[in-house]
């Protein structure tokens, strides 16, 4: 890939204010201690030590700023200290894919049936069992089932990402969006929102198309922001072919700065759609759903802040690849971007159909 041209690089637009749990420092300290005590290792000891520098408790404190300490702590341990090593495992092309998939399947069984003993001495399994026991103290059976399904969705998406890479070449944009909607894993913290917040969502309201669309927008914003900032790391690790910037550069015949500019315009349009559709849904939503949609917005802001500032995407990066990525600014002005028409991506075009549609199970909204 090459860095060419000097495009009019738009800012990354996120007008949702970041909020942080008042006990962030304690959450961060506990999270790192739990990670080390549980001996969570995706690759090796150096990788485990490096995980403590990412700010895993920090992103959790932005995910769940209003949760009581123990619920926020569980979110930090389970979703971040446990989830990020799993994310690295899924992305590690040095690992045999069949073994990775079997490992993920064995871990899922412990979430579904916590009384079952682990099938091996995987350190991820022991930590998973400990966190799953704490989850049962805070969540209802229905909430646990929803949360378990989000892990299953992520692991399935991760398997599809590995399958896509094994086919080789640069995939087509719509296909990659379809895969990464699930493979990004953003549904996992999203389904923890009601557990952290102590409210209960109605399953029928949660399944409304407009509500599902808002959730998927959060997933893709998380993925696209991650792809933008992780491009040097992905190229260094040999998985750059499925990065959004690579795909756009190859499709349009441009260099990295132009592709980054295109990606920023795309994600800013999704951000504008999220805000417009959420504004439309909120007056008709139940009190728990209003809290949930607030929290989904906080997740977008948290991911943007994390990808922009965490060292996770900057460590062990080839300097030549690091030099490809232009400097990106964040714009928090409330009206910086006007909503346009649907993006030409069939997998997500239906989101725009939810605007001004009836908020019913039978309608688009």
Domains of the chain: 17-138 (1.10.600.10), 140-301+332-365 (1.10.600.10)
* Spatial CA neighbour of 223 closest among 91, 98, 102: 91
Query: What's the pLDDT at 4?
Result: 44
Rounded mean pLDDT of the chain? 91
Task: Spell out the residues 6+ positions from residue 119 whose beta carbon is closer than 8 angstroms to its own.
Answer: 106, 109, 125
pLDDT above 90 coverage of the chain, percent = 71
Q: At 252, list the tokens.
A: 């349009």
pLDDT band for 261, please (50, 70, 90 cuts).
very high
Q: Does residue 343 register a pLDDT over 80?
A: yes
Q: Is the pLDDT of residue 42 over 80?
A: no
Average pLDDT, integer, range 349-353: 97
What gap in Å lies between CA 12 and CA 271, rounded to an integer? 10
The contacts found for 236-241 with CB under 8 angstroms, 24 or more apart, are 236/316, 236/317, 236/318, 236/321, 237/91, 237/92, 237/93, 238/93, 239/91, 239/93, 239/165, 240/1, 241/165, 241/168, 241/169, 241/170, 241/171
pLDDT band at 134 (very low <50, low <70, confident <90, very high): very high
Whether the pLDDT of residue 5 is over 80: the answer is no
Q: Higher confidence at residue 361 or residue 258?
A: 258
pLDDT of 123 above 90:
no
269 against 317, higher pLDDT:
269
Indicate if the pLDDT at residue 364 is higher than 80: no
Does residue 326 register a pLDDT over 50?
yes
Closest by CA to 124, choosing from 94, 93, 90, is: 90
Q: How far apart are the first and last CA of the chain?
A: 41
Q: Which residues of 293-320 are buried (b: 16+ CB within 10 A; e: fewer)?
A: bebbbbbbbbbbbbbbebebbeeebeee
**Residue 43 pLDDT:** 59
For residue 312, the model assigns a pLDDT of 79
What is residue 12's three-state secondary structure? Answer: strand
User: Strand pairing partners for 12?
Assistant: 330
């Amino acid at each position: 890939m090459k860095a060419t041209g000097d495009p009019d690089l738009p800012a990354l637009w996120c007008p949702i204010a970041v909020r942080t749990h008042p006990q962030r420092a304690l959450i961060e300290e506990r999270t790192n201690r739990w990670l080390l005590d549980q001996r969570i290792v995706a690759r090796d000891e150096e990788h485990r030590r490096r995980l403590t520098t990412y700010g895993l408790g920090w992103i959790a404190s932005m995910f769940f700023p209003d949760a009581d300490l123990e619920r926020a702590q569980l979110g930090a341990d389970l979703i971040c200290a446990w989830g990020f090593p799993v994310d690295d495992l899924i992305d590690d092309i040095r690992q045999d894919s069949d073994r990775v998939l079997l490992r993920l399947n064995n871990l899922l069984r412990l979430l579904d049936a916590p009384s079952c003993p682990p099938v091996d001495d995987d350190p991820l399994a022991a930590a998973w069992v400990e966190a799953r026991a704490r989850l049962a103290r805070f969540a209802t059976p229905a909430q646990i089932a929803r949360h378990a399904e989000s892990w299953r969705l992520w692991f399935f998406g991760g398997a599809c990402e590995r399958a896509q890479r094994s086919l080789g070449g640069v995939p087509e944009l719509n296909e990659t969006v379809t895969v990464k909607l699930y493979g990004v894993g953003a549904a996992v913290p999203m389904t923890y929102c009601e557990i952290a917040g102590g409210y209960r969502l109605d399953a029928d309201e949660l399944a409304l198309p407009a509500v599902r669309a808002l959730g998927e927008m959060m997933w893709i914003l998380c993925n696209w922001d991650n792809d933008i900032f992780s491009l040097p790391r992905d190229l260094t690790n040999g998985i750059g072919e499925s990065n959004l910037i690579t795909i756009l550069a190859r499709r349009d015949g441009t260099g990295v700065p132009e592709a980054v500019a295109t990606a920023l315009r795309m994600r800013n349009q999704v951000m504008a759609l999220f805000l417009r559709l959420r504004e439309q849904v909120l007056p008709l939503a139940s009190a728990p759903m209003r809290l949930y949609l607030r929290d989904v917005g906080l997740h977008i802001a948290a991911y943007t802040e994390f990808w922009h500032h965490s060292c996770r995407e900057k460590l062990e990066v080839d300097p030549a690849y690091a030099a490809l990525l232009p400097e990106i600014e964040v714009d928090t002005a409330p009206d910086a971007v006007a909503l346009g028409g649907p993006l030409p991506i069939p997998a997500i075009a239906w989101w725009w159909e939810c605007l001004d549609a009836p908020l019913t199970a039978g309608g688009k909204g």
